[in-house]
Structure formats: structure tokens, C-alpha cells
Amino acid sequence: MTKSAYAMITVEEALRMVLAQAQPLPPARVKLADALGLALAEDALAQDPMPPFPSAGVDGFAIRVEDGRAPRAFQGEQMAGVVSGLRVAPGGAVRITTGAPVPPGADAIVMVEVAEEVNGQVILRHLPGAGDGIRPVGQDIRAGEVVLSRGTPLGAAEIGLLATIGKGEVLAHPRPRVAVFSTGDELVEVETALAPGKIRDSNRHALMAAVRASGAEPLSLGVARDNPADVEAKIDEALAAADAVISSGGVSMGKLDLVKPLLERRGTIHFGRVVMKPGKPVTFATIGGKPLFALPGFPVSSLVSFELFVRPALRRMAGHQQVTRPRIRVALAHDVQHDAARTEFQRAVAAYEDGQVVARTTGFQGSGRLLSLVGANVLLVLSAGRGDFAKGETVEALVVGEIY
């Protein structure tokens, strides 16, 4: 029997170790068009108020409320984007479009739905109150207001706000560049016909997609063959090109599991075994401060260990404060078998049913069966220390996709 040199640690300890090493990348100027999903690295301050001028909130007529319900003399038009120079005189009205500057003299806009112009007269079917239909200066944003604070993740609304306040470029944490390579003599490229003993390299494609989905930038480094020189060359290439490195395969207890000894020699291994299923041999190291994740070769093991350890690290490197997935409680739709020896992350589909979230397994939970991840929007967290679960029990789950 071979014994692993690495202490078995818990998922929580492992995540703590990863987050203790992963540091936010130095901020850089980024064009607004490239900023989606990034974490802002500065406070964004509005120089100008919004709206910057008293602005019509509706289409209608600019009037003076004190003139009462009497018909007004039609004075002309004030469209959006120009300053007409018109002033609303006592007893007068100016046609106005939404977003146009309110002409001086007016204190309300009567909506076009309740007013009309007939032969030079504006007839009101409703008298608005003072200020109605007018968006005052600074109603939405005050001059000098911090509209977004450092650390805010940039989504559509945030990017719109930055555009509003005139920032075409922002200081943000860049997307981590992540080199991804596979290891194994059995691996061939996707479009290669399978010769005896060969399988296609799926991990590299799956992991690169997972990297991209986490907001980072994947770099493909291909496949390292099962010899130390090849693996070391890939590691060197990866370290030169990227902020973080992901390999898959070659970390269990087989004769050709070469990755750990190499990492040991080149840097520091923080952990090499975690009490979890799938993904027990997941390994985390640093070389010169850069994180390297040596993930297990089985496709589900590699993606689940990415989810638990790599994604939080990449989020942290990208400057995000919220780096782990939300946890919720879900009710089991059926009995679930569980080995009390390890924390297990079972793939399931959760859905709202009668006011609670109910989870159903994706079927056979083999570490090689990628189909067990297809459609899975939760990972059931079946903690070590207790065995099987019964239908109707609630368990903790990591939300990894949208719940419908």
C-alpha cells in the first residue's frame, strides 16, 4: 500500500489556505466597454448633477400653475437637446418633449394626455401641481456624490452610471490570466479519432470555460505528457504567461502522478489532499507567489474542485469581495446515499416547488460522468460525520447556477 505524504484537511481549511494566498491583482485603467464583471478599484464620483438642468419628465406643455385652468396662449416648442430661448409668459404655454430643458417661467409640465393645442390655444383638462412633470437638477445624482464605491462589481447598471458621469475608462482590477493544461499520455485533441487506449482531453476545455465563466481569462497550454520534463516545461511556460495556473490529472497515487513532486521541488504545496468527494487529491501550491492548482484528472473531480477552490481564488484576484457561491437550504426530493467519511458534493437540480427549493439528483454520481454536472444548479453539501439522508430532509447546497 502506498501512503500519501499529504495531510488530509477539510474543505473549509483548504479554502482558507487558498484565500490566504490569493491577492487582488494591481488595478489598471480599463475601457468601459471591457469592464463588465470587473471590480471597481476606485470611488466613482459625479462631477455634474443628474439631471444637469431642470428637465421635462413627460411630453406635454410647460405652464405656470398660478394661471389656473384657463386656456393658454401657445408660444412655441422646446425640444430635447437644444435651448430654445423661450420663456413661459403669464397665460402662456410651450410644447415640450421628455428630456428637454424646462423653459424659464414654467413651474409644471401638463402631460400631453390631458392637454392639447387647438388653433393657437392650449386647453387643459387637468391642472398639475407645482413641480409636476419636472425632474429637478440633481434628482437622480447630486454633484460631488460618490455613485459607486471601490470594490463594486460592474454590471449593466454600474456601467451605465459610469457612462452617465463621463468615465470612459475606469480603474478596475484586471481579469486574472489563467494558464490551463492537461496531463496524460492517454489524451488526444478533441477532433482526433480515438486509437486504442486514448480518450479526448475534455478537462482543458471544461476548465477554460469555467475560468471564463468566473470572469477570468483562460490561456490554453495544451497537454503535458506523463514525464517530469514535459510537466515542468508546461509549468514554466504557464508561470511566464499567467497570473495563476491550473493543471488537471497526475495528482493521485498512480505511478505516473508526477505533478506533486514537481510542485514540491519548485515551490510550496499548501495542501495535497482534502476530505471531499469528488476531488480528494486536489492540490494547491504557490511558486513565487503565483497560485497553482493541480486538479484531479477525473472530469467531475476537476470541475467540482475548480468550483470549490479555484473560482474563489480567481474572484479574489479579480478584486471581488464576494468570492464564494451563495449557500441555501434545499429539501431532498428522494433518499440520498452518503458515505459519512467524507464531505460529498452531489450534483442536483433545484427548483421552487410550493414555496420551497426542492433538489433532485442528476443521477449516477461517478467522478468521470460529466453528465452528472449537466443542468446541475446546486451542489448538495453532504457533510462528513453522518450517513444517508432521507427524502424531505433539508440539506445545505451551494448555488452554482440559476434556480427556476
Q: What DSSP state is assigned to residue 306?
A: I
> Does residue number 152 form part of the binding site for ligand AMP (CB under 6 A)?
no
Asked whether the CA dihedral 358, 362, 368, 370 is positive or negative, the reply is negative
Question: What whole-number distance in Å separates Cα of residue 370 and Cα of residue 399?
Answer: 18
Identify the burial level of 91 via C-beta atoms within 10 angstroms of its C-beta, where 0-12 means exposed, 13-18 middle and 19 or more buried.
Answer: middle
> Does residue number 60 form part of the binding site for ligand AMP (CB under 6 A)?
no
Min dist. Cβ of residue 198 to ligand AMP (A): 9
The H or E element spanning position 199 is strand 199-200
202 binds, among ligand AMP, Mg ion, none (CB under 5 to 8 A by kind): ligand AMP
Binding track over 194-223 against ligand AMP, x by CB under 6 A: -----x-xxxx-------------------
Question: What whole-number distance in Å separates Cα of residue 209 and Cα of residue 139?
Answer: 43
Residue 53 corresponds to which cell in the numbers above?
438642468
Residue 395 corresponds to which cell in the numbers above?
440539506
Min dist. Cβ of residue 272 to ligand AMP (A): 13
Pick the stretch among 70-78, 89-97, 179-187, 394-402 that binds ligand AMP (CB under 6 A). Answer: 179-187
> Does residue number 278 form part of the binding site for ligand AMP (CB under 6 A)?
no
Question: What is the per-residue DSSP string for 34-90?
Answer: G-TTPBB-S-EE-SS-BSSS-EESSSEEEE-GGGTTS-EEEEEEE-TTS-----PPT
Pick the stretch among 29-37, 152-160, 291-299, 307-315 that binds Mg ion (CB under 5 A). Answer: 291-299
Residue whose CB is less far from ligand AMP, 133 or 249: 249
Min dist. Cβ of residue 187 to ligand AMP (A): 5
Residues 220-279 that bind Mg ion (CB under 5 A): 249-250
Residue whose CB is less far from ligand AMP, 203 or 377: 203
Report yes or no: 397 and 379 within 8 Å, Cβ to Cβ.
yes
Min dist. Cβ of residue 240 to ligand AMP (A): 22
Q: Is 313 helix (H, G, I), strand (E, B) or coil?
A: helix
Q: Looking at 254, 366, 387, 392, which residue binds ligand AMP (CB under 6 A)?
A: 254
Among residues 222, 394, 369, the alpha carbon closest in space to that of 304 is found at: 369
Min dist. Cβ of residue 230 to ligand AMP (A): 14
Binding track over 285-304 against ligand AMP, x by CB under 6 A: -----------xxxx-----
Min dist. Cβ of residue 186 to ligand AMP (A): 5
Among residues 307, 314, 296, the alpha carbon closest in space to that of 399 is found at: 307
Q: Which residue is nearest to ligand AMP (CB)?
A: 297
HSE-up (13 A, CA, CB side) for residue 325: 22
> Does residue number 184 form part of the binding site for Mg ion (CB under 5 A)?
yes
Residue located via cell numbers 480515438: 194
> Does residue number 184 form part of the binding site for ligand AMP (CB under 6 A)?
yes
298 binds, among Mg ion, ligand AMP, none (CB under 5 to 8 A by kind): ligand AMP
List contacts with ligand AMP (CB under 6 A): 182, 184, 186-187, 199, 201-204, 248-252, 254, 296-299
List contacts with Mg ion (CB under 5 A): 184, 249-250, 297
